[in-house]
Amino acid sequence: MDLALIAQHLVNGAMLGVIYALVAVGFTLFFGVLDVIKFSHGDVVMLGAFTALATSAGLVGSGSALPPAIVLAAMFIAAVGGMAVFGALMAKFLVLPLRKAPTLNVLLITLMAGTVIREAVRLFYPQGSNPKPFPRLLPTGAWEIGEFTLRYDSTILLVTGVVAIVLVHLVITRTRLGLAIRAVAQDPETASAMGIPFHGTVLATFAIGSALAALAGVVNGLYYSEVSFNMGLLLGAIGFSAAVIGGLGNVYGAILGGFIFAALQTIGAVLLPIASAYKDVFAFAAVILLMAWKPGGLLAERSADRV
């Protein structure tokens, strides 16, 4: 295999890894602060993408000849901001009231919430049952390095995702909010006794996780130029798998898990070029073997430093 093709696969894998890591970090944040698995998270990814799509359609339909950069910025702001508020509301009205209930109750209510979100988009978004073309607002050129082609839009999206991951790291490790999140994740009762607002910290955590989900949805839409009402099913399953691979409750494990899953998909596509549609089967099968080897995740030894 020539070096140009290897480099192309590495870029594609890195792009997928960023998307999966953004989704996985949300799962691990939710589990870190409340020990809950929010099964509607994948549908929040989808809702963020459709929020951006609706924002673009509204701006274009208004007749204003806005520059693509302005439309793109409005899409990101609407999706990320809207899903941050939506995530906080879900935490306040669905998750926190069940904090002392059996874990199965939270799993069930978030699963049902995800179904409601998905079916609402399918039924009430115009022709929501069909895949929707996502606006192409990024530069379409590419750098040619020998036989290797690096697209401008892929580079911008990759940098955007990496910057978002770095910002989350800085928030968790360098801010008072991050300190509060880590304290609540480690010992909620002691954190509350020390004056850390438990409910406010949980709402902020769910807002951050949902904002990252929206960002993942928009990046996914821009990368593939298409979104669908059921896109969150696979992205949610992959994001959760990535979080578990790395060690559920560990942010760095979630990031690592996202890139590992993307690498497995890329390897599957390379090893099975005739049946590349089975790359997801290959990746999930590899995850099963990884979990059999490391049931607690690759970074489970750092569980004392959750979130």
Taken in order of first residue, the domains within the chain and their CATH numbers are: 3-305 (1.10.3470)
- Give the separation between CA 250 and CA 254, rounded to whole angstroms: 6
Strands (E), the chain: 132-133, 142-145, 148-151, 226-227
Can you give the pLDDT at residue 304?
43
Can you give the pLDDT at residue 78?
97
- Give the separation between CA 190 and CA 184, rounded to whole angstroms: 8
pLDDT in tens, 207-259: 999 999 999 999 999 999 999 999 999 999 999 999 999 988 889 999 999 99
What residues of the chain score a pLDDT lower than 50? 301-304
**Full-model pTM:** 0.93
DSSP result, 167-232: HHHHHHHHSHHHHHHHHHHH-HHHHHHTT--HHHHHHHHHHHHHHHHHHHHHHHHHHHTEE-TTHH
pLDDT in tens, 234-244: 999 999 999 99
Q: Which has the closest alpha carbon to 157: 184, 129, 185, 137?
A: 137
Locate 162 and state its tokens.
């990496």
Q: Which has the closest alpha carbon to 49: 159, 205, 210, 206?
A: 210
Strands (E), 87-173: 132-133, 142-145, 148-151
Can you give the pLDDT at residue 302?
47
Can you give the pLDDT at residue 232?
96
Residue 136's φ and ψ, nearest 5 degrees, are -100, 100
